């Protein structure tokens, strides 16, 4: 089983890393790819750090995680980073292996705004990491509203045991909402703290913190 965890990672933080650890404990993934985005369609209005810095921070985080592989697929492709392209790319690369997309619950609630999101949902299982304020009470009601007429019959309302059983190559994919501690950590908050000279200790790993300081990322020019 192959998992993809995409993001802007500006910067990668402890919320991402704990999410990956929890997802890996819940599902026996053989390979997990972290895919920093190129030009994210939803974030073009925000100033982003250069891809090389975001990539380097992801590499530093993966060293500390002790698992995971970094994919430059989205950074390398000149095209906009549509998730559907990335999922298709990994699907073609790992034929017959179920592909799973790991996403935060905030992303799940806006999935209907993604380019060809129905195709994404037919190509990949979803493992969803709950974030504070998004999909509360471990309920899928909000998600069902978001998905609207899209029927994913394999949606699991509760944490399945073992979660791996619900990862499938079938046409109907599984959506698994993990029951994990929600960490109120976001890249936006970290950038804001740096900008205002506040500490980001324990919100990112030490090497990532050092990198941010050395490269003077997120400071106002």
> Which residues of the chain form contacts with ligand ATP (CB under 6 A)?
7-10, 15-16, 19, 103-104, 106-107, 129, 131, 183, 185-188
Of the pair 171, 181, the CB lying nearest ligand ATP is at 181
Of the pair 131, 152, the CB lying nearest ligand ATP is at 131
CB of 16 to ligand ATP, least distance (A): 5
Of the pair 166, 218, the CB lying nearest ligand ATP is at 218
CB of 79 to ligand ATP, least distance (A): 19
Which residues neighbour 125 within 8 Å (Cβ) at sequence distance 6 or greater? 98, 99, 100, 101, 166, 167, 168, 173, 174, 175, 176
Q: Using CA atoms, how far apart are residues 185 and 187, in angstroms rounded to an integer?
A: 7
Of the pair 91, 131, the CB lying nearest ligand ATP is at 131
DSSP type of residue 131: B
Distances (CA, A) of 21 to 17, 29, 47, 71, 107: 6, 11, 29, 18, 19
Rounded to 5°, the CA angle 139-143-148 comes to 140
- Contact present, 120 and 88 (Cβ < 8 Å): no
CB of 96 to ligand ATP, least distance (A): 26
CB of 161 to ligand ATP, least distance (A): 21
Instruction: Point out the residue whose Cβ comes nearest to ligand ATP.
Output: 104
């Amino acid at each position: 089983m192959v998992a993809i965890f995409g993001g802007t990672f500006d910067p990668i933080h402890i919320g991402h890393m704990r999410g990956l650890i929890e997802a890996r404990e819940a599902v026996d993934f053989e390979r997990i790819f972290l895919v920093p985005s190129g030009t994210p369609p939803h974030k073009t209005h925000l100033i982003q750090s250069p891809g090389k810095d975001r990539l380097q921070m992801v590499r530093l985080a993966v060293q500390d995680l002790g698992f995971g592989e970094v994919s430059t697929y989205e950074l390398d492709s000149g095209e906009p980073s549509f998730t559907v392209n990335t999922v298709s790319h990994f699907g073609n690369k790992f034929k017959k292996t179920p592909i799973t997309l790991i996403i935060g619950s905030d992303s799940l609630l806006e999935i209907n705004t993604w380019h060809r999101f129905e195709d994404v949902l037919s190509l990949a299982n979803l493992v969803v990491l709950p974030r504070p304020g998004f999909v509360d009470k471990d309920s899928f009601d909000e998600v069902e509203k978001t998905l609207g007429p899209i029927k994913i019959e394999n949606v699991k309302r509760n944490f399945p045991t073992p979660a791996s059983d619900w990862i499938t190559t079938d046409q109907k994919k599984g959506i698994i909402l993990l029951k994990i501690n929600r960490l109120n950590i976001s890249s936006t908050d970290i950038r804001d703290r740096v900008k205002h000279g506040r500490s980001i200790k324990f919100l990112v790993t030490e090497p990532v913190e050092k990198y941010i300081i050395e490269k003077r990322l997120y400071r106002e020019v």
